[in-house]
């Protein structure tokens, strides 16, 4: 196995972590195997161009199938919202730091205070973000379990065409 294939295989194994859990648990090993075989065949037949073609497809699938679900998961959404909130609070402080009128220098004490606050806020908020992520992760697990049970209950009533 060439270095390119070995590296690609490792990267794909990492990308698999972003796919939905049921897909990863049910078919993760097969997906990795199919990817390796497809990549090896593409390199054998078309060289580096073939490898790039497989990666182009893989990236497209990743953006289409893995990323939307991953971004929507509470474990990602909560920290992003917390950081956005901190950033918003810092922005709200900007008028206090900026000079009062045209040509006036900013108040050094206000700048110092703003800088200290900007550095301290993430430090204080980090434990809360971690706790929120942990709770959100557990919550996400419960939500997906509930969804799975509801989906299983209603599955037989759906017309087969809607499932494909």
Partner 1 sequence: MKTYDQPLQPAAFFILFALATGDKHGYGIMQEARKLSENRFTLGPATLYTTVQRLLRSGWIEEVPGPADHDPRRRYYHLAKQGRAAFQREMERMEALVRKSKALRSRPAESRS
Q: How far is the CB of 15 from partner 1 (least distance, A)?
A: 9
User: Which of 102, 103, 154, 159 is in the footprint of partner 1 by CB under 8 A?
Assistant: 159
d(CA 2, CA 133): 39
Site string for partner 1, 61-100 (x = CB under 8 A): xx--xx----------------------------------
160: contact with partner 1 by CB under 8 A: yes
124: contact with partner 1 by CB under 8 A: no
Q: How far is the CB of 146 from partner 1 (least distance, A)?
A: 18
Q: How far is the CB of 47 from partner 1 (least distance, A)?
A: 17
CB closer to partner 1 out of 91 and 163: 163
23: contact with partner 1 by CB under 8 A: yes
Q: How far is the CB of 160 from partner 1 (least distance, A)?
A: 5
CB 124 within 8 A of CB 130: no
CB closer to partner 1 out of 119 and 164: 164
């Amino acid at each position: 196995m060439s270095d390119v294939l070995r590296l690609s295989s490792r990267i794909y194994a990492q990308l698999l972590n972003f796919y939905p859990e049921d897909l990863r648990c049910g078919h993760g090993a097969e997906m990795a195997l199919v990817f390796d075989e497809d990549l090896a065949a593409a390199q054998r037949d078309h060289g580096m161009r073939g490898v790039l073609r497989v990666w182009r497809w893989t990236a497209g699938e990743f953006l289409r199938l893995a990323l939307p679900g991953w971004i929507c998961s509470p474990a990602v959404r909560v920290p992003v919202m917390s950081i956005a909130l901190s950033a918003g609070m810092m922005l709200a402080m900007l008028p206090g730091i900026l000079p009062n009128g045209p040509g006036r220098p900013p108040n050094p004490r206000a700048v110092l205070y703003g800088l200290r606050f900007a550095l301290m806020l993430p430090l204080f908020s980090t434990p809360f973000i971690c706790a929120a992520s942990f709770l959100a992760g557990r919550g996400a697990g419960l939500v997906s379990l509930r969804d799975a049970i509801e989906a299983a209950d209603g599955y037989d009533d759906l017309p087969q065409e809607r499932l494909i």
